[in-house]
A and B are shown apart, each in its own frame.
Chain A
Amino acid sequence: MNIVVTVKQVPDTWAEKKLDAADKTVDRQSVDNVMNEMDEYGVEEALKIKEAHGGEVTVVTMGPAKAVETIRKALSMGADKAVHLSDDALHGSDALATSAALAKVISTLSPDIVITSSEASDARGGVIGALLAERLGLPQLTQARKVTVDPASSTVQIERLADNGYALVEASLPVVVGVVEKINQPRYPSFKGIMAAKKKPLTTLSAADAGLDAAAVGLAGAASTVVTSEPAPPRSSGTIVKDEGDGGTKVAEFLAVQKLI
């Protein structure tokens, strides 16, 4: 099984996230950056499939030079090799350009299964999995809380999360899978894994190496643009009351005054 898993480096979820004042893209300089937490579930699922059915796991990321830290993490969890698409020309890419660039790189790897996660925590588009399926012309098995691969019939079945339950969705390989949190319990990199990661193959590609037209990606190629940006008006704290045995009644009074009941 040839498995590709996408990972994105994002500002740490505990950090105060900001946009860069000049070009209104995410400020990735002044904060700690980590692997998008949901992508840990993607990597874990890739490793589990490999462990069950054999094969190889290739990590793909698009991002600035320091996104290599996120690649290292995936490799130390157990992925076999990585491709890092990195070029200043890619800075500011929208979701359409990002998916086109990732699809271009992924298609050269001829995967059986492409694994993404359902959402990156900085931009929260929740669209890259669907876009990769569209661009690669592969079945879209996104929102998966369970993935079952059957190599004998070359099919994959998932439980796709729905509001009141799930849909059972089936497709023939190759496929794009998108995982949600709670699908598994991502492993921690072991010391051995961290040491081994340093020796694993890593290919770094520029936009030109990947065969991308620089005018079609990055801020230059974006099909949408941020016009203005400002901090939301701060939410100040309101009335805080200590329960003296009549707390529930007090809350009800507040709701009544606010005409909420």
Chain B
Amino acid sequence: MAEVLVLVEHADGEPKKVTAELLTLARSFGEPAAVFLGAPGTYAKAKDYLAQFGAAKVYVAESDDIAGYVGAPAAEIVAGLVGTASPAAVLVAATADSREVAARIAAKIDSGLIWDATALTPELVATQGIFGGSTIVTSKVTKGVPVVVVRPNATAPEAAPGTPTEQIVDVVISDAAKGAKIVDRVVEAKSGRPDLTEAQVVVSGGRGLGAAEHFALVEKLADTLGAAVGASRAATDAGWYPHQNQVGQTGKTVSPQLYIAVGISGAIQHRAGMQTSKTIVAVNKDPEAPIFEFADYGLVGDLFNVVPQLTSEIEQRKAG
């Protein structure tokens, strides 16, 4: 069986859930071979997780050159592995960083690229929800080794414990790939909440909140649900919540089990980022708000009454 290269998505070695999803997907049509790229000493934190989710092999490339420059070194290493391993496909998570790496890999190996796949058959036919999920297409790479960028939450991760063989990659990065040097990383918001794109539950707030401090209502509800916090563009434009948390056409695309929209009207551009959520709940005081046209459960009311009541009701149910 041919290898399927899976680019490990991690933060300083801590694997992201989407990595398990990609390994599970890879197993459906080949031999999952994880590619771990990171700073020296980071692989140790990912090792057990990759074994747990069925990596048959792990290519380990640790180097300050990988963590120290944007995109190009990672692409160089993976393209090199494609040359030696002749994999059936390369799977990459649909994160802002990795999709750029995926594109560079495809260019280097002269192969087709498909982004935002929500499913992939063993024949490598991908499903993409385009135009904000309003049209569903299936597509296929027709040239080279398919590079497929897969959405988080596309596959349910299944454990398949094993003992992967480890292959240490000799990291030699060309000078050309060392153009964009990362001189510092600045953490502005450490929330402790799940990643927006990976979360099973997302609670988002919009202009209806009226002020930055009222996002505390949304955060409190999110925390009782173990949810990530999102925001509409009206809220991020107003500076009430970080741009990184924006959901929609020019923000993140999320596809959780449950999406709760608080004080959000449901404009087409917001909808583009969340309409593939399994269940959508909306709280809005305007019965004519477009969000009610596609919410599974809509509550017409003042969020300042509804949201605190909902939060305490959930807390009580959890306690009882």
| Chain A interface, DSSP helix/strand/loop, else mixed | mixed
Could you count the A-B residue pairs with CB atoms below 8 Å apart for me: how many are there?
275
> A188 near B: Cβ within 8 Å?
no
In the bound assembly, the distance between CA atoms of A157 and B180 in angstroms comes to: 9
B189 proximity list for chain A (CB < 8 A): 164-165
In the bound assembly, the distance between CA atoms of A240 and B286 in angstroms comes to: 12
Residue pair A127, B113 in contact (C-beta under 8 Å): yes
> A143 near B: Cβ within 8 Å?
yes
Residue pair A248, B142 in contact (C-beta under 8 Å): no
Residue pair A165, B188 in contact (C-beta under 8 Å): yes
Interface residues of chain B, those whose CB is within 8 Å of chain A, are 70-72, 75, 96, 99-104, 106-108, 110-116, 125, 129-131, 133-144, 146, 176, 179-191, 195-196, 201, 225, 236-237, 243-244, 249-250, 257-258, 268-269, 275, 279-281, 283, 287, 292-302, 305-314, 317-318
C-beta contact mask, A170-182 vs B, less than 8 Å → 1, else 0?
1110010000111
Residue pair A170, B314 in contact (C-beta under 8 Å): no
B104 proximity list for chain A (CB < 8 A): 130-131, 133-134
> A145 near B: Cβ within 8 Å?
yes
Residue pair A226, B188 in contact (C-beta under 8 Å): no
In the bound assembly, the distance between CA atoms of A229 and B130 in angstroms comes to: 10
Residue pair A140, B309 in contact (C-beta under 8 Å): no
B314 proximity list for chain A (CB < 8 A): 252, 255, 261
A118 proximity list for chain B (CB < 8 A): 96
Closest to A137 in B: B176
Residue pair B182, A18 in contact (C-beta under 8 Å): no
For the complex formed, measure the closest distance between the CB of B158 and the CB atoms of chain A, giving whole angstroms: 20
In the bound assembly, the distance between CA atoms of A126 and B249 in angstroms comes to: 12
Task: Name the segment of A57-65, A85-93, A231-239 touching the other chain.
Answer: A231-239
Residue pair B313, A248 in contact (C-beta under 8 Å): yes
B131 proximity list for chain A (CB < 8 A): 17-18, 122
Residue pair A171, B136 in contact (C-beta under 8 Å): no
In the bound assembly, the distance between CA atoms of A171 and B196 in angstroms comes to: 30
Closest to A121 in B: B249
In the complex, how many residues of chain A place their beta carbon closer than 8 angstroms to a beta carbon of chain B? 88
In the bound assembly, the distance between CA atoms of A246 and B308 in angstroms comes to: 11
Residue pair A160, B70 in contact (C-beta under 8 Å): yes
A131 proximity list for chain B (CB < 8 A): 103-104, 107
A133 proximity list for chain B (CB < 8 A): 71-72, 104, 179-180
In the bound assembly, the distance between CA atoms of A238 and B115 in angstroms comes to: 31
For the complex formed, measure the closest distance between the CB of A143 and the CB atoms of chain B, giving whole angstroms: 6
> A13 near B: Cβ within 8 Å?
yes
Q: A223-B144, A227-B125, A241-B299 are known contacts; what are 4 more A-B pairs with Cβ within 8 Å?
A: A133-B104, A142-B71, A239-B298, A246-B309
C-beta contact mask, A242-258 vs B, less than 8 Å → 1, else 0?
11011111111011101
Task: Name the segment of A68-76, A94-102, A191-199 touching the other chain.
Answer: A94-102
Q: For chain A residues 112-140, which have a beta carbon within 8 Å of chain B?
A: 118-119, 121-127, 129-131, 133-135, 137-140
Q: Which of A123, A175, A228, A252 contacts B317 (CB 8 A)?
A: A252
C-beta contact mask, A135-167 vs B, less than 8 Å → 1, else 0?
101111111010000000000010011111111
A160 proximity list for chain B (CB < 8 A): 70, 182
Residue pair A248, B305 in contact (C-beta under 8 Å): yes
Closest to A165 in B: B188
Residue pair B298, A182 in contact (C-beta under 8 Å): no
In the bound assembly, the distance between CA atoms of A231 and B268 in angstroms comes to: 16
For the complex formed, measure the closest distance between the CB of A234 and the CB atoms of chain B, giving whole angstroms: 8
A224 proximity list for chain B (CB < 8 A): 112-114, 139-143, 146
Task: Decide: A121 near B250, CB < 8 A? Known: A254-B297, A260-B258.
Answer: yes
> A83 near B: Cβ within 8 Å?
no
B102 proximity list for chain A (CB < 8 A): 127
Residue pair B236, A249 in contact (C-beta under 8 Å): no
Q: Which of B75, B244, B308 contacts A161 (CB 8 A)?
A: B244
B294 proximity list for chain A (CB < 8 A): 235-237
Residue pair A260, B257 in contact (C-beta under 8 Å): yes
26 contacts across the A-B interface (CB closer than 8 A)? A24-B137, A94-B112, A96-B112, A126-B99, A127-B99, A127-B103, A135-B107, A157-B183, A164-B191, A165-B187, A167-B185, A223-B142, A224-B114, A224-B139, A225-B140, A227-B138, A228-B138, A238-B298, A240-B287, A240-B295, A242-B300, A243-B299, A247-B310, A251-B310, A252-B310, A258-B279
